Amino acid sequence: KSYTALKHEYDNAGIDEEKRLREISFLEYEINEIKSAVLVPGEDEELAALYRKYANARAISEGLKTVYELTGNGMNGAGDGMGRAVRQLTRIAEYDDKLKDLLSQAADIEALLNDFNKDLSQYLSSMDSFEEEFYEVTKRLDLINHLKQKYGNSIEQIHAYMAECEEKLARYRDYDAYMERLRKSLEAERQRLEELSGRLSEIRKRRAKELTAKIRDALMSLNFLDVRFEMVFNRSGSYSANGYDDAEFIISTNPGEEMKSLSSVASGGELSRIMLGIKSVLAENDDIETLIFDEIDAGISGRTAQKVSEQLSVIARHHQIICITHLAQIAAMADRHFIIEKQTDGKTTQTCIRELTDEESINELARILSGAAITERVMENAREMKELAASSKKY
């Protein structure tokens, strides 16, 4: 059993003596109730078939009596008719050999009909006991259905429930020995997990130094020149599939600033760039399909903006990136551009998003570069940015 299952069993196994005795008494009652029924797998289906027969005994009796009148030896019955037919054929068969074949067939039919009527008569006679048998079948079915309501939807499930009760009863009767076995099993499993978690923690801490060094380099390239980035480990109060470590990134982005949890970074733009640095290192191993970066260009320009765009391009090799930006260096690196704009018909205003064509993308880059006045030189700069970005992505 796993540690979690053992611990759950151990934590829920505690019981006082009075309750233990009550449980023993209750389990003995349920086990005896099931055992005394002597249930046989499949008997409920057989009894259900008998119940249908006995419940419809009157209709069966009336139908068979009508059949017997039609096939029996009474007046106008098939048996009487076949008897007379055989006698007539016997009288004339000596005149033609072909009639002997007909006589033989008629005799066979008469014999079959006699056998049929004999069986039919016996069945009708047996119906005299239907009422008593119907009572016994109903009584047995009521017992089985009562047990099904309490212990399971089938005889197999009832037997399985009884087996569980017998196992519990054995534990309660020898409760101290059971708890000691459980305690030893739990301790053995805990020691095994302690060893495995310790080895995992050592590996994790060793790899954490390598990882944080790479992330620190990535952050420095994103204009976090005085960044300190580490991973701290605290021991949790329990074991999990990941061991016993609680791991957390901590960071300081300014000289003399105390290191704090990554989740405590206040600036949205700063946090976006930090996440960009982390994702650029983890890009190949991260299974998140789509990443969204907002305000990633806050407080940066020039070479830093170019570095941000290059890092986004690296991550985009393995993920879909959605980035909201006002910097041309970042926008130029995108594979596709969308613009958000307002449209009005004089009565209502709607905010819409649409994809830009290549020429519209260049125009929008030029607008970002120069503002309202877009000159041919600015347009050339925008085209060149797009071409350089496309060239850098030919990996």
End residue of a domain, out of 264, 279, 312: 264
- Is residue 375 assigned to a domain? yes
Based on the fold, state whether residues 159 and 14 are members of the same structural domain.
Answer: yes
- State the pLDDT at residue 157: 95
Based on the fold, state whether residues 284 and 311 are members of the same structural domain.
Answer: yes
End residue of a domain, out of 264, 293, 314: 264
- State the pLDDT at residue 394: 64
Whether 231 and 214 have beta carbons less than 8 Å apart is answered as no
CA dihedral 101, 106, 112, 115 (to 10 degrees): -130
- The encoded tokens of residue 109 equal 């039919």
> Degrees (nearest 5) of the Cα angle 168, 44, 126?
145
Based on the fold, state whether residues 281 and 203 are members of the same structural domain.
Answer: no
- State the pLDDT at residue 35: 96
Whether 214 and 227 have beta carbons less than 8 Å apart is answered as no
Based on the fold, state whether residues 322 and 390 are members of the same structural domain.
Answer: yes
- Is residue 323 assigned to a domain? yes
- Is residue 291 assigned to a domain? yes
Distance, CA of 248 to CA of 264 (rounded, Å): 12
Distance, CA of 337 to CA of 234 (rounded, Å): 44
Based on the fold, state whether residues 22 and 80 are members of the same structural domain.
Answer: yes
Residue whose pair of structure tokens reads 């009596």 in the numeric block: 65
Distance, CA of 225 to CA of 348 (rounded, Å): 48
Q: Which helix (H) or strand (E) holds 389?
A: helix 376-392
Per-residue burial over 42-60, b = 16 or more CB atoms within 10 Å of its CB, e = otherwise:
eebeebeebeeebeeeeeb
CA 79 vs CA 62, 85, 99, 345: distances in Å: 19, 10, 21, 97
Question: What phi, psi does 285 have (nearest 5°)?
Answer: -105, -5
**DSSP category for residue 325:** -
Distance, CA of 221 to CA of 277 (rounded, Å): 9
- State the pLDDT at residue 139: 94
- Is residue 180 assigned to a domain? no
Based on the fold, state whether residues 247 and 309 are members of the same structural domain.
Answer: no
- Is residue 183 assigned to a domain? no
Based on the fold, state whether residues 221 and 162 are members of the same structural domain.
Answer: no
Based on the fold, state whether residues 258 and 269 are members of the same structural domain.
Answer: no
- State the pLDDT at residue 268: 67
Beta strands in 225-363 (DSSP E): 228-240, 243-252, 260-261, 290-294, 320-324, 338-344, 349-355
End residue of a domain, out of 138, 173, 208: 173
- State the pLDDT at residue 39: 94
Based on the fold, state whether residues 124 and 199 are members of the same structural domain.
Answer: no
Helix residue ranges per DSSP H, 38-174: 43-55, 57-71, 78-92, 97-126, 130-151, 155-173
- The encoded tokens of residue 124 equal 């009708």
Q: How many domains does the chain have?
A: 3
Least Cα distance to 24 among 214, 226, 168, 176 occurs for 168
- Is residue 253 assigned to a domain? yes
Name residues of the chain where pLDDT drops below 70: 1, 266-269, 284, 372, 394-395
- Is residue 279 assigned to a domain? yes
- The encoded tokens of residue 7 equal 């611990």
Pairing of strands 290-294, 243-252: unpaired
Pairing of strands 320-324, 338-344: unpaired
Whether 172 and 24 have beta carbons less than 8 Å apart is answered as yes
Instruction: Record the pTM.
Output: 0.52
Based on the fold, state whether residues 7 and 31 are members of the same structural domain.
Answer: yes
Based on the fold, state whether residues 211 and 232 are members of the same structural domain.
Answer: yes
CATH number, domain containing residue 305? 3.40.50.300
Based on the fold, state whether residues 147 and 293 are members of the same structural domain.
Answer: no
- Is residue 190 assigned to a domain? no
Host domain of residue 288: 265-395
Least Cα distance to 294 among 319, 315, 276, 313 occurs for 276
Per-residue burial over 204-221, b = 16 or more CB atoms within 10 Å of its CB, e = otherwise:
beeebeebbebbbebbeb
Distance, CA of 292 to CA of 322 (rounded, Å): 5
